[in-house]
Amino acid sequence: MVVRGGENGSNTGGRYDPAIDAWTPTSTIGAPPAAGTVVWTGRLMIVWGSSGGARYDPTTDTWTGITYSVNAPLLRIGHTAVWTGSLMVIWGGRDIYGSYRNDGGRYDPETDTWFPMSTTNVPPPRWEHTAVWTGNLMVVWGGYDTVFGYHFLNTGGRYDPATDSWLPTTTVDAPSGRYTHTAVWAGSLMVVWGGWDGSSHVNTGGRYDPATDSWSPTSMTNAPSSRGWHTTIWTGDLMVVWGGYYDNVASTSLNTGSRYSPVNDVWRRASGIRAPSGRFLHTSVWTGNLMIVWGGLTYDGTFNDGGAYAIDPFFVDGDGDGFSECLGDCNDGNPAVHPGAPEICDAADNDCNGVVDAFTSSCGVGGCFSTGFCTAGVDSCVPGAPSFEVCDNVDNDCDGFVDNALVPSGPLSVAIDVTTATPILGWSVLPGATAYDVVMGDLSTLVSTGGDFTAAIRSCLADDLEANALSLDASPPAGSGFFYLVRGVNWCAGAGTYDSGDATQVGSRDSEIDASPLTCTQPPPAYCGDDVCNGYEDSFSCPYDCYCGDAVCDPTEDCFVCSSDCC
């Protein structure tokens, strides 16, 4: 890609090689001093404008001037130029005296010769229009003039350089008049899009068939936002629009674009990943697989940077995961597959490292956590079996929550073993219980008060006992009797019930028993972070509650480790 000149009138430039991403400067010896149109002949870049012109050979890095002969058009700006394969054709614009032109000239770079152009049936004068070369015709369209006010034109003409003759373009179904738009030749149609129509920027366009002299509109569905001074290139089957300027309430430089298929009349958004910053009046060229954008300006300044946009699927991020095939995506149709993606056991190379599965796997949560190995989509990991949630800082039931235990419930089977020297009170294990409370009451009092458990309770034999049996040291006096009641306790959920669960039981015993001053305490639900170092916690499992300086010598502490708590 060869660039030169610009808005500041510079005669400097550069040659850019996208294959190696490298620039070399262009010579300024003999270079024309100001901006103008540029065409590429296949061997030479021809520049022509308000200060004349020159031919540049990038192979030898040399400039050769263009003779300003009798048939040469007046020097001008805002004109168009196309390359026919043998001639550069200049037309329109505004001359150095301020007049709008509808004439031009044909230039042969091999002989450095100008030929005049016919003005019969020529379109009206204008500048900032567009022109495309169809293969045998130059089609000019749009632009504006300021004769008796601003006129934004939707007229044009078809010029045949072989016969030096003009035919008009129809205005039937033509887009609204405009300038700062773009036009490309799409093989059989000229596609015009965007620009300023005199009141606002637009995102409308049209497809012109010079063979039938007819227009059809471009679709508005998914069309890019309105803009002007953008660029378009033709890839061979798509028109790519990028950048530009939008002036509604505030001036905005855009770095967005879209791809358009004139055959299908369909727009698709162009990727914005790593796109250059927003700009207008930049340049774009098509290399065969890349659109290269360079230069341009905003109202804050000019740019000397750019970017390369890939249309080929190898360069395009087809699934929107930030990686193309060029960047190592081994499945550009699946956004979950790309370099750095997590590898899952599915017989696929998810992270594109060339290895399918073959990794240590894990499964289950909490107490059910386990490990295995994944081979060719088969995972050997089997999670552990869940158990009742207890208050131990572990997710025992594997539901994803730690110590969300339920209050222990269900009947307990209580019995006294009198075959030993000291009677043993024992009871069945209650699922979910981390400890047990055992109360003793006087049976005579219970009977004489008509079943008042508050009055009948005599003592708490065990408060948060972690076993399911205890020795009975006292026996009731002659003529009386004791009763014993047991309830399960979960340190995270709280205390259970002393009720038997028998359908014949009338009412609940719990409130009356808990009202006795001699009963066991009813601890509130405990959890790590409640500022209480409970019996199941220590400084390792719950440093929030159990720590050196909390005045509790927990099992992991001693005089050496924490003298303030333990000595």
Query: What CATH code is carried by the domain that includes residue 460?
Result: 2.60.40
Q: What share of the chain is helix, strand, coil (3-state, %, to 5)?
A: 5, 35, 60
Decide: 380 and 392 in contact? Cβ < 8 Å.
Answer: no
Read off the tokens for 564. 């303030």
Q: Using the structure block, give the residue that is written with the tokens 């740019």.
A: 303
Quickly state the pLDDT bin for 385 (edges 50, 70, 90). very high
Longest dimension (CA), the chain: 144
Task: Looking at the structure, tell me whether residues 509 and 424 fall in a common domain.
Answer: yes
In a domain, 162, yes or no: no
In a domain, 436, yes or no: yes
Task: Looking at the structure, tell me whether residues 539 and 453 fall in a common domain.
Answer: no
In a domain, 496, yes or no: yes
- Look at residues 483, 484, 499, 472 and name the one whose alpha carbon lies nearest to residue 409: 499
Q: Which amino acid is at 474?
A: A
In a domain, 555, yes or no: yes
pLDDT of residue 542: 65
In a domain, 446, yes or no: yes
Tens-digit pLDDT profile for residues 313-339: 666 677 888 888 878 899 988 999 999
pLDDT, average across residues 481-499: 87
- pTM > 0.75: yes or no: no
pLDDT, average across residues 278-285: 95
Q: Which domain holds residue 537?
A: 533-567
Q: Which of 175-184, 363-372, 395-404, 455-464 is least confident?
A: 395-404
In DSSP notation, 238-280 reads -EEEE--EEESSSEEE---EEEEETTTTEEEEPP-TTPPPP-B
Residue 539 pLDDT more than 90? no
CA 287/CA 276 separation, integer angstroms:
18
Residue 310 pLDDT more than 90? no
In a domain, 551, yes or no: yes
Residue 117 pLDDT more than 80? yes
pLDDT of residue 251: 72
Residue 39 pLDDT more than 90? yes
Quickly state the pLDDT bin for 525 (edges 50, 70, 90). low
CA 374/CA 34 separation, integer angstroms:
67
pLDDT, average across residues 90-101: 94
Task: Looking at the structure, tell me whether residues 491 and 540 fall in a common domain.
Answer: no
Residue 513 pLDDT more than 60? yes
In a domain, 556, yes or no: yes
pLDDT of residue 540: 59
Helix (H) or strand (E) holding 443: helix 443-448
Q: Strand 266-269's sheet: what is its strand order?
A: 231-234, 239-242, 257-261, 266-269
Task: Looking at the structure, tell me whether residues 481 and 431 fall in a common domain.
Answer: yes
Mean pLDDT: which of 165-179, 239-253, 296-310 is highest? 165-179
Residue 27 pLDDT more than 90? yes
In a domain, 489, yes or no: yes
pLDDT of residue 464: 86
Task: Looking at the structure, tell me whether residues 559 and 507 fall in a common domain.
Answer: no
Domain count, the chain: 2
pLDDT of residue 532: 66
